[in-house]
Amino acid sequence: MTQIKRYVKNAYLIVFSIVFFCGVVTSLALYHEEKQHLMLDENIATEQFITRLKDALAQYGREVAGVAIMIQSMDEPLTNPIFQRASRQLEATEKNNTLRVYFAKYVPHSQRDTYVTQQQGLAGLSAFQITPSEIRKEYLPLTYGYPFFTNPGFDLLSDTYSNRDVIQQIRSYQGFEMSELPTFSSEGVKQKTRSFALRRSIYIPLDNIKNRVTDEFGFYGIVGIIFEVNGLVRQLNVPGIRGVAYRIADITEGSQPPVWFADSRTDININAEHISHWEKGHFNTTDIYYGGRNWRVDTRNSSDLLGLIDWTLILGALILFTLLALLLSWYVRLLSNAYNQTLLLANEKIEIDGLTGLYSRYKIQKELDELIKTCELNANKLVVFFLDLDHFKAINDAFGHETGDKLLVKVAQRLKSVLPDKAIIGRLGGDEFLVLMVLDDKKACVFLERLCREVILQISQSYFVEGGTLNIGCSIGAALYPDYGQDAETLIKNADMAMYEAKSAGRATYYFYDGAMGARISRNMRIETRLRYALQNSLLELHFQPKVDLNTKECVGMEALLRWEDSELGTVSPMEFIPIAEQSGIILMLGEWVFEQTFKHLVIWKEQGVQVPPIAINCSAAQLKRPNFLSHLLSLLDKYQIDPSLLEIEVTESILIEDAKGCAELLRQVSKLGIKLAIDDFGTGYSSLSYLKDLPFHYVKIDQVFIRDFMEDSDHDALTRAIINLSHELNLKVIAEGITRVDQMERLREYGCDIGQGYLFSKALGANSMASDPMIVALNEKQGDSDSFGG
């Protein structure tokens, strides 16, 4: 059931995780899709780029072929005007105006002079010569040029021309060739520029030679187009396609590394930085073969992939899913809360307690509501008992919850048998019970007290559970209607508070709520807070009250007593704050402080040369029960180098009632160290001297309530004498607390009481007034005497 509840409680986390996870997966898928898409785009762009490049080259090819065919198909020799006109048409097709066209004419040696003379006749070429001026069988001089003419007359068949072999090839196979072009500078020096030439040989059909000069196969000359790389690449940028970065190298000669002549990142020189930039990322490589040359083309996306990705969709999806996850988990949380609430309500509305068969918490509260209504009508009184078992947790811890449950069942049965029939009984949960009773008779209060005593008595009779005997006590708090509460809630709260008082008073008792109780509880809470503060800020003090030998009147011991002067609460008596410290657990820290402080004082007195008798420290049950009590004590003795015989420990008899066996061993060890033990406030508890005989006590302290009036109260007188006599029989010395009058002291001495303590002798002294106290002075003088006698 709790498992299901936990799942329901955490369902919103699960829903959030699932939906958010879906969001992450969707975003990743979108990212992947987008990346694929971009890579596809890149491939398409590359393809388009390559197609464009090929188209551009083919266009140059078509143009050179166009000029060649035009020259071939003429019926007369080519003249400059015709060449210029044909070339000008190219200009129309070439958008970038970077084309240059030339015609090199085949000239056999026999025609050389005629040719030169003819050329010299052309406008501006009067100094025309075939260069270099070698004598050969045939020549191929640059004859016409468009739009301008560089190097007229330069002979492409000359030995000095580096492309001569290419020219011969073109001539022999009649195709067209492209080559890395050396421009014809005025110095005739070959320079590599970023331009190419595409050449084509012109053959005149042999049957149509007419008056033209060709070789025997009809070779008439070569037409060439020079195009610049810049002009070429300007045609390649494809609008509408995501930018393609590219670089182009001519690798015909197999040069390694390739000579890059175009790069989309620059239109001037390609340097090492451009090259290393390419080496970093991935790119596609395509080889293009055209006009006898082999080009390598590298392409890739012009910008980084991450930069190209459309993040809006991807992040949008993630945000959308996150919002959805938040919304859904919020909704599921609402639902699960509602579900748990329903479960809770369903649980709460159960009328019978499953374990004991008594009314449930829900039902008994409902009953109380009803009873209040009828009592109001009939002007009746009503009592609410809040009953809580004492130390039930200890039974659970020692024997397990199953045994605890069985005990609860038996307690419930006993409760039913001891309470009158008209009592309505319910279990609030745990070991808490609520009893309601309408009171119709006037002597109700006397009857109620008797009933409480009877209930406590009956409940604390032994139980037989699982073959063993168990004992448990109970504390009762009572609140009366209408005097101390007009509604169920207040009545239960006040009865609870009274029960708390009963517990504080030492358990196994009952309390009736009165108006002052609330104020008392709130004062206790204040004391608790202030006490913590006082302890942390060292605002407490130890005072020391002498104990006097009744025969010799010598001071034989001192009791360390806490003193606290609070700035807000004023002087608070240990009678008031020690029980609060015990209930709240502060006593542990407080006890340690008292021990340490006592040791410090002992050291100081020793340094001052003041002899002090043994100091008795009061020790609470909780302190003694600490597992490290003994080791802590030993470490303090060691730290301050204190003789253990200077210490005494006072414990109240209630410790022995609670856990005689457990304490016995510890007390024995403490006693072995040489520390004397006293049993404090003797006579107030359910004391039986019998268990004292097995324990290592040295002193019994008769509680001051007996001493106060033993001379007037014969019972107390008898008790005082009995305690003195019995203690002596057990070899214990007796200390009487609270002696205020001389006659008390005298009578006690007659009874044989050994030691007295009380205002008659001295109040507790501050640590600093110790040295000047007459009793201590006397002690020191006596000690000095014996020392001087001895020494």
Stretch that binds Mg ion, among 24-32, 164-172, 550-558, 645-653 (CB under 5 A): 645-653
Instruction: Please list every residue from 679 through 708 that binds Mg ion, using CB under 5 A.
Output: 680-681
**Interface with ligand C2E, residue 680, by CB under 6 A:** yes
CB 91 within 8 A of CB 206: no
CB of 651 to ligand C2E, least distance (A): 9
Nearer to ligand C2E, 64 or 594 (CB): 594
Contact map string, positions 735 to 754, toward Mg ion, x by CB under 5 A: --x-----------------
**Interface with ligand C2E, residue 687, by CB under 6 A:** no
Stretch that binds ligand C2E, among 33-41, 57-65, 98-106, 573-581 (CB under 6 A): 573-581
| Neighbouring residues of 552: CB distance < 8 A, sequence distance ≥ 6 | none
Among 353, 367, 681, 773, binds ligand C2E (CB under 6 A): 681
Among 57, 456, 562, 675, binds ligand C2E (CB under 6 A): 562
Among 79, 110, 573, 783, binds ligand C2E (CB under 6 A): 573
Nearer to ligand C2E, 452 or 578 (CB): 578
CA–CA dist 277, 273 (Å, integer): 6
86: Cα within 13 Å, side-chain hemisphere: 25
Among 163, 264, 299, 618, binds ligand C2E (CB under 6 A): 618
Burial class from Cβ neighbours inside 10 Å (0-12, 13-18, 19+) for residue 649 reads buried
- CA dist 492 to 83, 433, 479, 483, 497, Å? 123, 11, 7, 13, 9
Percent helix, strand, coil in the chain (nearest 5)?
Answer: 50, 20, 30
CB of 680 to ligand C2E, least distance (A): 5
| Neighbouring residues of 105: CB distance < 8 A, sequence distance ≥ 6 | 78, 115, 140, 141, 143, 220, 221
**Interface with Mg ion, residue 582, by CB under 5 A:** no
CA–CA dist 288, 53 (Å, integer): 9
Cβ atoms within 10 Å, residue 770: 21
Stretch that binds ligand C2E, among 1-9, 233-241, 569-577, 664-672 (CB under 6 A): 569-577
Q: Which of 594, 583, 670, 572 is nearest to 622 (CA)?
A: 583
CA–CA dist 442, 448 (Å, integer): 11
- Report residue 128 CA to chain centroid gap: 93
Please name the residue that has the structure tokens 């002087």.
571
Rg (Cα) of the chain, in Å, rounded? 60
State the DSSP code for 689: G
State the DSSP code for 73: T
Instruction: Please list every residue from 618 through 637 that binds Mg ion, using CB under 5 A.
Output: 618
Amino acid letter at 27? S
Nearer to Mg ion, 46 or 652 (CB): 652
CB of 651 to Mg ion, least distance (A): 9
Among 218, 404, 613, 758, binds ligand C2E (CB under 6 A): 758
Return the one option of Mg ion, ligand C2E, none that residue 562 interacts with (CB less than 5 to 8 A, by type).
ligand C2E
**Interface with Mg ion, residue 87, by CB under 5 A:** no
**Interface with ligand C2E, residue 663, by CB under 6 A:** no
Q: What is the size of the binding site for Mg ion (CB under 5 A)? A: 5
- CA dist 634 to 556, 599, 641, Å? 24, 12, 10
Return the one option of ligand C2E, Mg ion, none that residue 773 interacts with (CB less than 5 to 8 A, by type).
none
**Interface with ligand C2E, residue 766, by CB under 6 A:** no
**Interface with ligand C2E, residue 585, by CB under 6 A:** no
**Interface with ligand C2E, residue 17, by CB under 6 A:** no
Q: Which residues bind ligand C2E (CB under 6 A)?
A: 545, 560-562, 573-575, 578, 591, 594, 618-620, 650, 680-681, 704, 737-738, 740, 757-759, 764
Q: Which residues bind Mg ion (CB under 5 A)?
A: 618, 650, 680-681, 737
